[in-house]
Amino acid sequence: MALQESFEKQGVWLFRYRGVIPIFILLIGAALYARMKLVSGDSLLERQPYEFYYELFCLLIGLIGLGIRAYTVGHTPRNTSGRNVDRQVAETLNITGIYSVVRHPLYLGNFFMWLGPAMLTGNLWFILVFCLFYWIYYERI
C-alpha cells in the first residue's frame, strides 16, 4: 500500500506542475542541440543530404501534436475538463470524439509536441530518454 500512496503523491505533485517540468527537459535538449551545432559528430544525420528533410520531419511531428491538441480542445464538451492544477473538477466523463479513440488525447498531443524538438537534437540517447521520461511522467499523473 505504501508504493501506491507514493505513486499517488508523486502524481498529485506532477499534475500540479505538469506544464513547467517539460520546460527543463526542453532546456537540456536545447543545450544538446547547441552542442551538436558547435561540435561535429553528435548528430544522427549531420552533414547528410537528408538533414534538411529530417528537420522538416521534426517540425511536422511537433505540428501533429499541436493539431491533436487543437482538435481536442475545440471539440471537448463543457464541464468535462478544465485548466485546473490542484485537483480534477470535471462533472462528467468525456467519451465522445477523440476521447472515444484515445484516453488522454491532450497528453498524446503534448507527447508529439515535445517529441519534435527532442528529435531535433539529433541525439538518439536523448530521444530515447525523453520517451522513457515522458512515459513515466504521465503514467504518474
Tell me, what's the pLDDT at 67? 96
Tell me, what's the pLDDT at 64? 98
Q: How confident is the model over 54-61, as a mean pLDDT?
A: 94
User: pLDDT, tens digit, for every residue of 86-107?
Assistant: 666 666 777 788 888 888 898 8
Domain segments of the chain as ranges: 2-77+94-140
- In whole angstroms, give the CA distance from residue 77 to residue 91: 11
Q: Are the beta carbons of 69 and 52 closer than 8 angstroms?
A: no
